[in-house]
Amino acid sequence: MDGIVNWWDYLSSRWDLVGATLMETIIYVVTVTVSAGVLAIVTGILTRNRPFAKEMSLAIASVFLTIPSLALFTIFIPLVGLGFAPSFIALFLYAILPILRNTVTGLDSVDPSVLESARGMGLTKSQVLLQVQLPLAWPVMLAGIRVAALLTVGISAIATLVAGGGLGDFIKSGLARLPLPNSLEAIWTGVILSLALAFTIDVLLRLLGRVTTPAGVR
Amino acid sequence: MPEPLIDLQDVTKSYPGVEEPAVKSLNLAVEPGEILVLVGPSGCGKSTTLRLINRMIQPTSGRIIYEGQDVTKSDPNELRRRMGYVIQQIGLFPHRTIAENIATVPKLLKWPKKRIRERVDELLEIVSMDPSIYRDRYPSELSGGQAQRVGVARALGADPDVLLMDEPFGAIDPITRDRLQNEFLRLQAELKKTIVFVTHDIDEAVKMGDRIAILRDQSEIAQLDKPEVILTDPADEFVENFLGSGAVLKTLTLRRVRDIDLDPMVTVKQPVHRGQALAEMNTANTTTAVLLDEQDHPLRWIDERALNSSTSSLDRAGRPITVQLQPEDTLQDALSAMLQTSSGMSVVVDGRGKYLGCCTIESLAGLLLNQGNGSEHS
């Protein structure tokens, strides 16, 4: 019980800092998910009828995910310096695979006879894509976007090591000062806020899925 | 012969890396208002041929003429909007309501909303589905047969002159398939569309086709003719083998009772007593007769022996008539009706149940034998 009270005291004495740090993480999540989403979805669409290009892009995206995060965050420092930029690049590269994978799966899983009949009725290629294939693939694609967003919340904690800010700052400073007063509280702040943020994003994206999934395929 | 609506001229389709073309120099003319069935073993190129017509597959060489115009190089999407297309798996859009599915082509053609709405309801009624129930449902809520009906309605969306159907009833259970085939034939009698119909099932081909093209490898036409000609006079061994052993029996489904000469059996009309009946049969020199009631409805088979051996009234002599045929029944129905009676005979009545004559197994056999011989000479 004491722990929770102490943690609450710790939190309420530095709302400004907590708010600013949380905002940094949210900015990572939004910018990374949106930009990786655009790249992955466009790639998935462009390669949908080209099996070789499709496999290649998936293979490349998978390679990024196998690079240890500590390395990926630091690798770009010589090029872009410290702070937001190297963190953004690393998170962006990580977020591509889940979205690309699900875009490819989603587009591929549309019943071929549905596409055949669409084409047979005289829908143009772009009409088939926009009116039939994408709406039917969308729930699977959105699931990929959700995974990417949650992944970004978790991994963005590493950004603190390259001076990128975010909730990782609390965890790092707490770890550095253990077992001094307020060190555990700092760690808890980073962890619990990350969890709360992830939970909120999950709920929001599920709601978005509800609203944007066409009736009939729900 | 009328001007063909669709004319494939010397059409070839070959795929890169495959030596033999899938379709080789095919010439095929489809006449307006007919159901032309393409039938053949799997891999013979019948589906490819169908898909060449709406250019889902682009021919390697040759010309496709539609309504007198060369459409080999025209905008394929525009062409497809003028031809209904039904495939075996139907491919309804699962994310769209039944109404939206049916409205697909009218919407592409930018019909006004009101006209689309009326057309959707009209089409649902044509395929015997209540618009108020089904309009706003989704494809996942339909049974296989209903989905097939909606598929046909969608293909008819913008009232195209042509329907291309690729094994449309192939994935449906036999009972529902039979019903859908009959419904479709009734529909076609009203709509008079030009239909190219692909199937691998010769029975379906015989049932649905005004003309049948039997295809062998590379979509080569082995025989193209009316079903009764193909069944009675197959062009070669390939066609004969494809028809199978039951070819002659299949012709029975094409002919109707009214096509054969009925036997004028001796009739005895009520009210009559046994002495009179026996006398009448004696004069006519026959042992069997049909007993009619006052309204000429057939009642019983009576024969001399039965009349002589018992003293019961005429109402109980002989055997009751349980099976009756009508002129519209197919000869297949007639055959099974006759096989149910021990005499190999069945009475034929008109729509109001009045006696017309008798149909015997001998006359049926005579017809079949004649058919076989006749066609060889012609």
DSSP letters for B201-242:
-HHHHHHH-SEEEEEEGGGEEEEEE-HHHHHHS-SSHHHHHH
Which residues of A, range 122-161, sit inside 8 Å of B by Cβ?
122-124, 127, 132, 135-136
B171 part of a folded domain = yes
Q: Residue B151's pLDDT is what? A: 95
pLDDT of residue B372: 53
Return the structure tokens found at B160.
Answer: 């195209």
Neighbours of B170 (CB within 10 A): 16
Q: How confident is the model over A169-197, as a mean pLDDT?
A: 92
Based on the domain organization, do B166 and B311 belong to the same domain?
no
Residues 6+ positions from B155 with CB-CB distance below 8 Å: A121, B84, B85, B86, B163, B165
ipTM summary value: 0.87
- What's the confidence (pLDDT) of residue A89? 96
CB contact under 8 A, B93 and A114: yes
- Fill in the DSSP letter of residue B246: T
Compare all CA atoms of chain A with the CA of B79 and give the residue at the minimum distance: A122
Say if B56 falls within a structural domain: yes
Residues B235 and B269 in one domain: no
User: Of A114, A127, A214, which is closest to B91 when you measure between CB atoms?
Assistant: A114
**Distance to chain B for A132, nearest Cα, Å:** 7
Tell me the pLDDT tens digit for each residue of A61-75: 999 989 998 899 999
Mean pLDDT value across residues A104-129: 95
Contacts of A116 in chain B (CB under 8 A): 56, 87, 89, 91
B167 and B92, same structural domain? yes
Decide which of B289 and A111 is more confident: A111
Instruction: Flag if B91 and A116 touch (Cβ within 8 Å).
Output: yes
- Quickly list H helices, chain B: 46-53, 76-81, 98-102, 104-108, 113-126, 131-134, 144-155, 174-191, 202-208, 227-232, 237-243, 247-251, 274-283, 304-309, 331-340, 361-377
Residue B273: per-residue pLDDT = 76
Interval B331-352 mean pLDDT: 81
Given a cut of 80, whether residue B376 has pLDDT beyond it is: no
Report, as an integer, the average pLDDT of B55-67: 94
Could you tell me if B193 and B316 lie in one domain?
no
Which of A110, A111, A114, A121 is most worth mutating to test chain B (most B CB atoms within 10 A of its CB)? A121
Per-residue pLDDT for B148 more than 90? yes
B106–A contact, CB cutoff 8 A: no
Question: Residue written as tokens 């018992």?
Answer: B310
pLDDT at B378: 35
Burial class (CB in 10 A: 0-12, 13-18, 19+), A102: buried
Query: pLDDT at position A4, please?
Result: 85
B308 has a pLDDT exceeding 80 = no
Measured CA to CA, the distance from residue B353 to residue A4 in angstroms comes to 95
* Greater pLDDT, B312 or B171: B171
| B205 and B66 inside one domain | yes
Rounded mean pLDDT, A5-31: 92
Topology classification of domain A2-212: MetI-like fold (1.10.3720)
pLDDT of residue B374: 45
Token duo for residue A88: 């953004």
A contacts of B95 (beta carbons < 8 Å): 132, 135-136, 214-217
Same domain, B122 and B221: yes
Position B354 scores a pLDDT of: 86
**CA-based nearest residue to B165, from A122, A119, A120:** A120
Q: Are residues B243 and B180 in the same domain?
A: yes
Mean pLDDT of B222-245: 89
Q: What is the pLDDT of residue B377?
A: 38
Of B85, B90, B93, the CB nearest to A132: B93
Q: What tens digit of pLDDT does each residue of B249-270 get?
A: 777 877 788 888 888 788 888 7
Q: Nearest Cα to B161, choosing from B190, B189, B185, B192?
A: B192
Chain A residues within an 8 Å CB radius of B156: none
Task: Give me chain B's average pLDDT, please.
Answer: 87
CATH of the domain at B278: 3.10.580.10
DSSP B165: E
Helix, strand, coil percent content, chain B, rounded in steps of 5: 40, 25, 35
Q: What is the pLDDT of residue B312?
A: 66
Q: Which of A52, A135, A58, A129 is nearest to A99 (CA)?
A: A58
**Mean pLDDT value across residues B20-25:** 91
Same domain, B212 and B63: yes
* Out of B79, B87, B139, closest to residue A216 by CB: B139
Which of the four pLDDT bands, split at 50, 70 and 90, describes residue B274? confident
B268 and B304 share a domain? Answer: yes
Are B216 and B281 within one domain? no
Q: Are B157 and B106 in contact (CB under 8 A)?
A: yes
Residue B292, pLDDT score: 85
Query: Do B202 and B44 meet the contact criterion of CB atoms below 8 Å apart?
Result: no
Kindly state the average pLDDT of the residues A145-157: 96
Residue B274: which domain range? 258-366
With respect to residue B40, please indicate whether it lies within any of the assigned structural domains: yes
Domain tally, chain B:
2
As a whole number, mean pLDDT of residues A106-122 equals: 95
Q: Same domain, yes or no, for B296 and B241?
A: no
Residue A115, chain B, CB below 8 Å: the answer is: yes
